[in-house]
Amino acid sequence: MAGFLKFIKSAFVPGRTPAPAPQPEINALIEAHLAGDPRAFGRIVERYQVRLLNFVVRMIGDRERAEDLVQEAFLRVHRHLHRFDRSRKFSTWVYTIASNLAKNELRNRGRSPLIAFEQARPRDEDDPRPIDFEDLGNRPDDLYERRHLRSLVDQTVAKLTPHHREVFVLRELEGKSYEEIAEIVHCNLGTVKSRLNRARQSFAELIAPHLD
C-alpha cells in the first residue's frame, strides 16, 4: 500500500504552489496585521489560498463554488484573527474553517462531488490543465502522463465517502499529521487512523482497474 500511494503522489510534484509559512512568520504577519499593516493579511492569503483551494475543490468537486468558499474562509479568518490562539498551528485553524464550509456545502446540496467534477471539467480536452501544480521544465510525455494520473486521482477521490475523502486528502495529498487531521475533522486519533485506513483501501480498489 505504501508503494502504491507513493506512485500516486508522483502525479503531484510541487511547482509554484507556495509552501506553508513557518509558524513564527505567520505570527509576525498576524502581529503586523493587527498593528495596522495593510499588506500583512494579503501575504497570509498568498501563502495559503492555492493549497486551500485545491483542498476544497477535492472535497466538493466544483472549482467555481470552491473559490467562493475559500473566499468566505478568509473572510472568517480576517474577522476572527484577533482571537486566534497563536500557540496553535495557523494552518490547522484555516483548514478547519475551510473543511467545515466544504462539509456544509455538501450537506446543503446533497449531491456527489463526482457529478460536479464531471460538469466542471474543461471543455477543451487538449488543454487539461491541472488545478494545483505547474509542471515546468518536464518532458511533454511526462507532463501528459502526470496530468492523466492527476485527473484520475481527483476523479477517484471524488468517489470516496465524505469522511473518507476528507482524511485521505488531508493526509495523502496535503501531508497533514494525524494530530492536525484530528483537530481539523473534530475527532480522536483512533478515528482518524481508522477512517484513513478504510479510505486508502477504498481508493486502491477504485483506482486499480484504471492503472493496468
User: Could you report the per-residue pLDDT of 73-86, keeping only the tens digit for each?
Assistant: 999 999 999 999 98
Residue 148 has pLDDT above 70, yes or no: yes
Q: What is the mean pLDDT of residues 153-178?
A: 92
**Domain CATH number, residue 152:** 1.10.1740.10
Q: What is the mean pLDDT of residues 33-58?
A: 94
**Which cell goes with 7?**
506512485
- Range of weakest confidence among 20-34, 47-61, 145-159, 172-186: 145-159
Write down the pLDDT at residue 123. Answer: 39
Rounded Cα distance between 206 and 155, Å, is 10
For the chain, what is the domain count?
A: 1
Residue 5 has pLDDT above 90, yes or no: no
- Phi, psi values for residue 147, rounded to 5°: -65, -40
Write down the pLDDT at residue 154. Answer: 87
Across all residues in the chain, what is the average pLDDT?
80
| Angle of CA points 3, 199, 185, to nearest 5° | 120
Burial of 189 (C-beta count, 10 Å sphere; 0-12/13-18/19+): exposed
Residue 133 has pLDDT above 70, yes or no: no
- Domain of residue 205, residue span: 2-210
Residue 197 has pLDDT above 80, yes or no: yes
Q: Percentage of the chain surpassing pLDDT 90?
A: 56
Burial of 52 (C-beta count, 10 Å sphere; 0-12/13-18/19+): buried
Angle in degrees, 0-180, between the axes of helices 140-159 and 40-60, rounded to the nearest 10: 70
Predicted structure pTM score: 0.72
